Amino acid sequence: MKAKELQDLIDFIAKSGLNKVNIETEEFKISVQREPSYKPVISSVAPTPAPAVAAAPTPAALPAAAAPAPTTPTPATPEAAPAAGSNYQSLKAPMIGTFYRSSSPEAPVFVQVGDLVEKGQVICIIEAMKLFNEIEAEQAGRVVKILVDNATPVEYDQPLFLIEPM
């Protein structure tokens, strides 16, 4: 891997908001991990892709208006309503990719319904552009519902889990 390619990869990871990335090919193996103190700065940078940012406010604005609600048949809208009406909070996908409940097909799932999770605990993986991104719990709580099937595509800001805060 050339220095320019490596720099481009590091820049991509920095802009994505990920804390840890492992990449392994036949030619090389690389692991990049960021210190947690940088997370607030990176999280403000993460939504920089223009299409994702432009798409994110639209679904949020549509549920507020009662008339256009039928134009958004995405699963994010129905799941957001129960979460707002109850004590549950949804953990949303920070990126577009493929959702996985475990690190490999043979490995046990990270969490099940009813499990208690701590803030920062890995609860799933989203694969994006051949990078496997560990998604961590944003708060401590109990997993109430898993909203996405294993190995299915997810969109930016799509609810993945309902968590009852503790």
How much is the pLDDT for 35?
A: 60
Token pair belonging to 129: 């552009």
Residue boundaries of the structural domains of the chain: 74-165
- pLDDT tens-digit readout, 128-155: 998 999 999 999 999 999 999 999 999 9
Number of H-type helices and E-type strands within the chain: 5, 10
Residues 6+ apart with CB under 8 A from 50: none
Q: What percent of the chain has pLDDT over 90?
A: 46
- pLDDT tens-digit readout, 27-68: 777 777 666 544 333 333 344 444 444 444 444 444 444 444
Mean pLDDT calculated for residue range 60-82: 43
How much is the pLDDT for 58?
A: 42
- The answer to whether 123 touches 117, Cβ cutoff 8 Å, is yes
- The answer to whether 59 touches 77, Cβ cutoff 8 Å, is yes
CATH topology for the 74-165 domain:
OB fold (Dihydrolipoamide Acetyltransferase, E2P) (2.40.50)
